A and B are shown apart, each in its own frame.
Chain A
Amino acid sequence: DAGVIQSPRHEVTEMGQEVTLRCKPISGHNSLFWYRQTMMRGLELLIYFNNNVPIDDSGMPEDRFSAKMPNASFSTLKIQPSEPRDSAVYFCASSPQGRGFRYEQYFGPGTRLTVT
């Protein structure tokens, strides 16, 4: 199993540019989570999906952030326009759901975003 795959691993962009982060969950997992990690605020949930449907997006900072999950094997997190305060490491995680599962979350390697 390849685990959760995220791309790019590093992104450096200028303020005002659009940024798109990508995630491929573990095959068969039907929950997907986007987290953000900063020194000041630690790890925070941005949004999560169950069966490709957004369930809780209360952690999305503002309208500049949007996330989609067009199918079970792909999700994107978009920031438009980006700002320096968006600089952070963005993690994607996936989890299997249903009877017999423990709902353990598996994390990808993260995307380190720097907005100058």
Chain B
Amino acid sequence: KQEVTQIPAALSVPEGENLVLNCSFTDSAIYNLQWFRQDPGKGLTSLLLIQSSQREQTSGRLNASLDKSSGRSTLYIAASQPGDSATYLCAVSGAAGNKLTFGGGTRVLVKP
């Protein structure tokens, strides 16, 4: 059974500092990995999707890497801003079109 872990559960940084969020999964046989952002009381917004054959994906200040063999992904957010404060969730899919297994999330606070 796939298990996804995100450490730390919470993170507080001053504005301008780079953020590094970690995600690990136990079964390396994944189809893809998605990073989501969730604001309090809101739904999930997809940030990046990495296919199992890819090593990284970039979008603006966000960069996500994937090391499938070691079961790890890292989300980097450059030059953090107070607006980046949210909970970040990673999730993996075991097969095309299949369900996502979520980590517990990392709650991020960027202090002005």
Contacts and interface: CB of A to CB of B under 8 A. Distances in A.
Contacts of B105: 42
A59 B91 CA distance: 16
Contact of A104 (B49, B89, B102): B49
B28 interface: no
Contacts of B31: 103
**Per DSSP, are chain A's interface residues mostly helix, strand or loop, or mixed?**
strand
B43 interface: yes
B75 to A, nearest CB: 16
Contacts, number: 55
A3 to B, nearest CB: 9
Interface residues of B, number: 25
Contacts of B51: 102
Given A103-B31, A104-B46, A112-B41, 17 more contacts: A33-B100, A42-B103, A43-B102, A45-B100, A50-B97, A56-B98, A91-B44, A95-B97, A97-B96, A97-B97, A102-B49, A102-B51, A103-B98, A104-B32, A105-B46, A107-B45, A109-B42
Interface of B: 31-32, 34, 36, 41-46, 49, 51, 89, 91, 93, 96-105
